[in-house]
């Protein structure tokens, strides 16, 4: 089917004015001075999404592996696999794993709730990606910490083209 991109997926990219660039630059400087190494590299929108998920805590890198094809031919169904190194005991387990696709019309894609009875933190699923973007997996640990992994994905056929 060759119908147009659906309205829900239309995300007009506003042209950046010089003023916006200046403000963004200033915000970027402010961000760099904050003690948030994991967030400093991310663009503000994504950092906000992450901060909302982790309630402001800074997620650590490592212990989590996020497998997703880097070149996706069809964004309508993308295989992802997420594993977190965890003993999955009552005292130390993964509470949930959350997937964010920042440029999807609805960036919160999925959340998997696990527990000590999972045995392993090992999830596979099929997701939709609207466009080429950074996709992030965040796992919440029972101890209160968070671990994060992200990956840049190129999508050739957007999930927003109807008929898929």
Partner 1 sequence: MASFNARITMPAEAKTGEIVEIRVLVRHPMDRGGQVDSEGRVVPRKILNRLTVTYAGEPVFRYDMHTGVSANPFVSFTTRAVETGELTFEWREDGGAIFTRTARLVVT
User: Residue 93 Cβ, how far from partner 1 at the closest point, in Å?
Assistant: 11
Contact status: 3 vs partner 1 (CB under 8 A): yes
Q: What track of x and - describes contact with partner 1 for positions 62 through 81 (by CB under 8 A)?
A: --------------xxx---
Among 14, 117, 144, 152, binds partner 1 (CB under 8 A): 117
**Which one of 17-25, 40-48, 105-113, 149-157 is the stretch in contact with partner 1 (CB under 8 A)?**
105-113
**Which one of 15-23, 64-72, 102-110, 144-152 is the stretch in contact with partner 1 (CB under 8 A)?**
102-110
Which residues of 21-162 form beta strands (DSSP E)?
60-61, 64-67, 71-74, 78-84, 94-101, 108-113, 121-127, 133-141, 146-157
Strands 94-101 and 133-141: antiparallel
- Name which of residues 8 to 37 contact partner 1 (CB under 8 A): 8-9
Give, as one character, the DSSP assignment of residue 132.
Answer: S
Nearer to partner 1, 29 or 91 (CB): 91
Q: Look up residue 101 and give its two tokens.
A: 């696709």
Q: Tell me if 46 sits within 8 A of 100, measured CB to CB.
A: yes
**CA contacts within 13 A on the Cβ side of 101:** 21
How far apart CA 118 and CA 153 sit, in angstroms, is 29
Contact status: 139 vs partner 1 (CB under 8 A): no
Q: Which residues bind partner 1 (CB under 8 A)?
A: 1, 3-4, 6-9, 76-78, 99, 101, 104-115, 117-120, 122-129, 159, 162, 164
């Amino acid at each position: 089917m060759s119908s147009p991109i659906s309205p829900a997926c239309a995300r007009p990219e506003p042209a950046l004015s010089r003023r916006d660039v200046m403000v963004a630059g200033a915000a970027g400087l402010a961000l760099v001075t904050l003690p948030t190494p994991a967030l400093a590299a991310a663009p503000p929108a994504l950092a906000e999404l992450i901060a909302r998920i982790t309630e402001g805590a800074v997620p650590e890198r490592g212990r989590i592996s996020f497998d997703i094809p880097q070149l996706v031919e069809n964004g309508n169904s993308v295989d992802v696999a997420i594993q977190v190194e965890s003993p999955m005991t009552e005292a130390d387990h993964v509470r949930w794993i959350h997937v964010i696709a920042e440029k999807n019309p609805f960036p919160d894609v999925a959340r998997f709730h696990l527990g000590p009875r999972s045995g392993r933190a090992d999830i596979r699923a099929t997701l939709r990606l609207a466009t080429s973007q950074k996709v992030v997996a965040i796992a919440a640990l029972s101890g209160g910490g968070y671990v994060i992994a992200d990956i840049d994905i190129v999508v050739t056929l957007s999930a927003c083209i109807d008929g898929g």
